[in-house]
A = this chain, B = another copy of it.
């Protein structure tokens, strides 16, 4: 497949903004990267590879993502923490008109107060991206497939 350099850059920029909003905020703008009707799944790799539908987080609209973020922010139960995404190895695997499929590798490091950084999760994003009428790209489907078998109980925010 020939690579469209400009498109690839647009997609890289979408992922960069995705990571920046989750790590540095404003978090309330993060759902704007998704289509109004979308699918967001946080799913362990074992389940994904076996075709099992069970996801740790499942949101089916931008509104649900907004609720999810609000709930995470209002939860006092969890310690304050910083996250840092690194999104690499982007591959555009299919382009059919405004329908784009892409895969990328991610790591999320977590920093708790008075501790050194640790790895929260690594895995891959398996995504469908589409173009809005205003020309911007947005995620219509996002599967965050993390490699751990363990469910980190500290996953409060989306990966």
Interface mask (A148-159 → B, CB under 8 Å = 1, otherwise 0):
111010000000
Number of interface residues of A (CB under 8 A): 46
This chain: copies in complex = 3
A23 and B146 alpha carbons, distance in the complex (Å): 12
Q: Which of B9, B15, B91, B115 contacts A3 (CB 8 A)?
A: B9
Interface mask (A84-98 → B, CB under 8 Å = 1, otherwise 0):
111111110000000
Instruction: Judge whether B121 and A24 touch: CB under 8 Å.
Output: no
Identify the A interface with B (CB < 8 A): 3, 5-6, 8-10, 13, 15-17, 19-20, 23-24, 45, 82, 84-91, 103, 105, 107, 109, 111, 113-124, 147-150, 152
